[in-house]
Amino acid sequence: MSTLHAQNLHWQVAAAHIVQDISLHVAQGELVGLLGPNGSGKSTLLRMIYRTLRPHSGCVLLDEHNVWRGSARDNARVMAVLAQESSSEFDLSVRDMVLMGRTPHQSPFARDSDEDFRIVAQALERMQAHTLSERMFSTLSGGEKQRVLMARALAQQAPFLVLDEPTNHLDVRHQFELMNLIRGLGLTTLAALHELPLAAHYCDRLYLLKNGRLAAQGTPAEVLTADTIAQVYGVRALVHTNPRTGKPLIEYLPDELL
C-alpha cells in the first residue's frame, strides 16, 4: 500500500489563484474524500497530484518519493487514476480500453499476455461490465463508460487510487455498488466527490475546498455540519446522526437557499 502527502500546493492562471497553499495527506488504506462546489479547485488539485499539471509551488510525495521526479511509467505502477476526461476519442473495444491499464507493467513492444487478459476479465467482472467487452467504447452510455474506465484503473493494480468524481453518470444503485467496491478494495484512495451523502457514509476523512482554499478538514461528522454546508455551498441543511451507522445523514432544505 501507499501513503500520500501533498504539501503547500499552489497553482494559478495569470492573477487568478486556482489552488492556494493546500496540504493534505492520505494514510495507508484510507478512503479520503475531496469536496467542494464547482470551481473550488478539486480537479486542479488532483491533476497536480497525478502529474498532469505541475504545481507552481509545493510538492507531492507518494511513499516519500516526489511524483514529479520519477518517470510517468514508474508513477503509473503505483498510482491509478480515474479522471473526469474520458477517452471517447479512441476507437477501441472495451477490452482494449481496459488492457491499456496493463501498459505500465509491460516492457516496450511486448504483447498482451494471458495474465494480462485474466486481470482485465477480472476487472470487468468486478465492475459488472464483462458483457460489454466486445463493444466499442464510443458506443457506450455515460454510466457504462464510467464503469469501464474504473475497470481500467483496477486492471492497473496500483496501490494508490486517485478518483475524480467516480460516481459521475452513474445511477443510484451503481453509485452505491461502486463506492462499496472502492471501500472493499482497502487501497489508499483519494476521491473527489460531489454527493455529500456518499462522502459522509463511505469516507474516513474529508477535505472541503472553497475558492481554491481549504475550508474544513476532518471526519465526516466534523466537516459536514449544517453551518459548514451553508457557508460553502449556500444551501441550508439539517444534519442528523444515522442511528444504525453513527454517520451523518444530510437533509437538504431546497426552499431555503442562502
Give pLDDT tens digits for 194-227. Answer: 999 999 999 999 999 999 999 999 999 999 999 9
- The answer to the question of residue 178 being in a domain is yes
Q: Evaluate whether residue 206 is within a structural domain.
A: yes
Flag whether 255 is in a domain.
Answer: no
253 falls within a domain? no
Q: Kindly state whether residue 191 falls inside one of the protein's structural domains.
A: yes
Average predicted confidence (pLDDT) for the chain: 92
Q: What is the CATH number of the domain that holds 77?
A: 3.40.50.300
Q: How many domains does the chain have?
A: 1
> pTM of the predicted model, to two decimals?
0.93
Confidence of residue 167 (pLDDT cuts 50, 70, 90): very high
Q: Which amino acid is at 24?
A: L
Q: Provide CB contacts within 8 A for 12, sequence distance 6+.
A: 18, 19, 56
CA torsion through residues 73, 79, 84, 90, sign: positive
Domain range for 86: 4-225
Q: CA–CA distance from 146 to each of 46, 119, 253, 258 (Å)? A: 18, 18, 30, 33
Convert the pLDDT of each residue in 116-157 to its tens digit: 999 999 999 999 899 999 999 999 998 899 999 999 999 999
Does the residue 249 lie in any domain?
no
Q: What pLDDT was estimated at residue 15?
A: 82
Percent of the chain with pLDDT strictly greater than 90: 81
The answer to whether residue 78 sits within a structural domain is: yes
Angstrom distance (rounded) from CA 219 to CA 187: 18
Specify if 143 maps to a domain. yes
